[in-house]
Amino acid sequence: MKHYTVTAAIITNNSKVLCMQRGPGKFEYTSYKYEFPGGKVEAGESYEEALSRELQEEMDLQINVTEDNFFMTVNHEYPDFSIDMHSYMLPVEDREFVMREHKHHVWLGIEELDSLDWAEADIPIMKKLMTIEI
């Protein structure tokens, strides 16, 4: 089974969280699911560097991710692959970005997060977010 190390951004603005919807994909169980944006860590990259790069590539966002932004790590096994996902809390000044990779997005308050159909690996992050104040 393939294993990937990935990163995820919990992007917040004015007590709202950015939730991104995936488009169609190779696996039905991740297609059209909501997720926190991010992606794979490349060889030689720190988790923080990988997330900064992914946000630039996927959303044209310039965000300096630091270890202080760390939120939690999720280890998850899907039927065809497994991931270690390192998530970071990233407040932003405005809600402007370019949606290059995703099908849809929505900004929700933490009390609304469980109303979406989340990718399984993102659910523990979503549930932890629902227990804190942002």
Within a domain: residue 6?
yes
Within a domain: residue 88?
yes
Within a domain: residue 134?
no
Average pLDDT over residues 6-34: 97
Within a domain: residue 105?
yes
Within a domain: residue 92?
yes
Q: Positive or negative CA dihedral for 97, 98, 101, 103? A: positive
Average pLDDT over residues 97-109: 97
CATH of the domain at 116: 3.90.79.10
Tens digit of pLDDT for each residue in 78-99? Answer: 999 999 999 999 999 999 999 9
Q: How confident is the model at residue 134 (pLDDT cuts 50, 70, 90)?
A: confident
CB-based contacts of 52, cutoff 8 Å, min separation 6? 63, 64, 65
Range of the domain at 50: 2-129
* Count of domains observed in the chain: 1
Within a domain: residue 124?
yes
Average pLDDT over residues 14-38: 96
Residue 38, sorted as left (phi over 0), alpha (psi -120 to 50) or beta, turns out to be left
Cα–Cα dist 52/112, whole Å: 27
Residue 127's nearest CA partner among 76, 69, 72 is 72
Residue 89's nearest CA partner among 22, 42, 43, 38 is 38
